[in-house]
Structure 1
Amino acid sequence: MSVLIVTSLGDIVVDLYTDKCPLTSKNFLKLCKIKYYNGCLFHTVQKDFTAQTGDPTGTGAGGDSVYKFLYGDQARFFSDEIHLDLKHTKVGTVAMASAGENLNASQFYITLRDDLDYLDGKHTVFGEVAEGHETLTRINEAYVDDKNRSYKNISKIINNVTNDERIAKDKLLQLIKSSIM
């Protein structure tokens, strides 16, 4: 399963680890489907570390899991799905930005450098960037303030989901354009 993230700096295709992280993947896919992430900023960009998004308030303090919408406030967060073989070894690793153990909601991050192994076992890794590494480079090079907020907003505009494991970005863009028109 793949998701296309169209940002103001370019496109990113993320392949999800649906077999190993079904709860996290379902949360992410359902939030994409209801357009929860549309317009979310990359609210924290730490050069050569991570770019974090998924908070509709844009502050880094907000966000809910899809399970809250299904089961109420007590389900705002969901459990970790940590697998020791899913690691932060390369640029483009996608993981939940949890507020602590078993406190996953909507926020996630994408790694901007290799070998961030000290994050292993602490955050649920649920996907990887399949296409759009040049976009990650542009995000990594963004000018930020002392709170790691980009001076020029980097927003996520559209999410689109496909069942294909990997699909050409052009085909996804055609699907989006045809669904908009």
Structure 2
Amino acid sequence: MTPFLNIPRRLTCVLLAMGLLAPIASWAQNPAPLSKVRITTSLGDIEAELYADKAPKTVANFVQYVNDKHYDGTIFHRVIPGFMVQGGGYDGQYREKKTRAPVAHEGRQALAAGLKNTTGTLAMARTNDPQSATAQFFINVVDNAFLDPSFQSFGYTVFGKVTSGMDVLQKIRNTPTGAGGPFPTDVPRTPVVIQTITLLK
């Protein structure tokens, strides 16, 4: 099932499909409080820090996908200026990649630890089901407070933040979009490819 919600474009509640991680290896059991990754794209590199001390299951899940090379050759298939850029779930032919079981939702825990959907933060994508995040993630290109957990909503789990490459993020944000594959809108006309994601520490 594709992680997209039929909501007005401006308030498109990020459907964000992600992946869970059953307790994996010692890293998942005891993740470093702060890790960094490099997202190498066809438009340049983005580096981000991951907050394993604030969203441990989410970060362990993401790192496992990184180590499994799941993201290599995937695309940013959803780009909305004034909102976010989303990727990690489809290859260049718009084929959906297989994922593991969903990861437990940690949005409220992360929010309590100070992580909000602000500009440059990474968060997990999902469907309407808050427990459906697997591998897809998005990067907020503006402050999106309405995506934060609240009494009425589970929100979206923030697990990292861009530390360098905001210029690259802006290039992705500003790329022309239209229809592509199974998606009627918001797909970059020239594919923006995630060539690989590398764990730096």
Specify every segment of 5 or more residues in structure 2 that has no aligned partner in the other structure, as ranges.
Answer: 1-34, 150-154, 180-184
Aligned residue among 68, 73, 89 for 1:39: 73
The structure that is strand-richer by fraction is 2
Equivalent residues, number: 152
- Residue 35 of structure 2 corresponds to residue 12 of structure 1: no
Q: Secondary structure at the match of 1:42?
A: strand
CA distance in 1, matches of 2:94, 2:60: 22
TM-score, with structure 1 as normaliser: 0.78
Specify every segment of 5 or more residues in structure 1 that has no aligned partner in the other structure, as ranges.
Answer: 69-75, 164-181
- Residue 123 of structure 2 corresponds to residue 95 of structure 1: yes
- Residue 165 of structure 2 corresponds to residue 132 of structure 1: yes
CA distance in 1, matches of 2:133, 2:189: 27
Q: CA deviation at 1:156?
A: 0.5
Amino acid at match of 1:135: V
Q: Secondary structure at the match of 2:170?
A: helix
Q: Secondary structure at the match of 2:176?
A: coil
Q: Percent identity?
A: 33
CA distance in 1, matches of 2:94, 2:50: 23
Q: CA deviation at 1:149?
A: 0.3
Q: Counterparts in 2 of 1:1-181, with a 5 A limit?
A: 1-57=35-91, 62-65=96-99, 68=100, 76-82=101-107, 83-84=110-111, 85-89=114-118, 91-99=119-127, 100-113=129-142, 115-121=143-149, 122-145=155-178, 147-163=185-201
CA distance in 2, matches of 1:11, 1:132: 6
RMSD: 1.8
TM-score, with structure 2 as normaliser: 0.71
CA distance in 2, matches of 1:156, 1:58: 10
CA distance in 2, matches of 1:158, 1:142: 20
The structure that is helix-richer by fraction is 1
Q: 1:140 to 1:27 in 2, by over 3 A?
A: same
Amino acid at match of 2:188: S
Q: 1:27 to 1:39 in 2, by over 3 A?
A: same
Q: CA deviation at 1:61?
A: 8.7
1:93–1:127 Cα contact (<8 Å) kept: yes
Amino acid at match of 1:129: V
